[in-house]
Amino acid sequence: MRVGFVGLGAMGRPMAMHLLQAGHALSVWARRPEAAAALVEHGACRCGTPAELAAASEVVITIVTTSRDVEDLAFGAHGLAAGFERGGIHVDMSTIAPTTARALAARYAQLGIGWVDAPVSGGEQAARAATLAIMAGARAEDLERVRPLLLALGQTLVHVGEVGAGQVAKACNQMIMVAAIQAAAEAMHLANAHGVDLARVRTALMGGSAASRVMEIIGGRMVDRDFAAGIQARLHHKDFGLVLAEAARLGVPLPIAAQVAQQLDTLMSNGWGLDDTASLLRVLERVRVGAG
Catalytic amino acids?
A: 170
Cα-based distances in Å from 71 to 54, 65, 254 = 15, 11, 27
Per residue in 25-41, is it b (16+ CB within 10 Å) or e — as a string?
Answer: bbbbbbeeeebbeebee
CA-only gyration radius of the chain, Å: 20
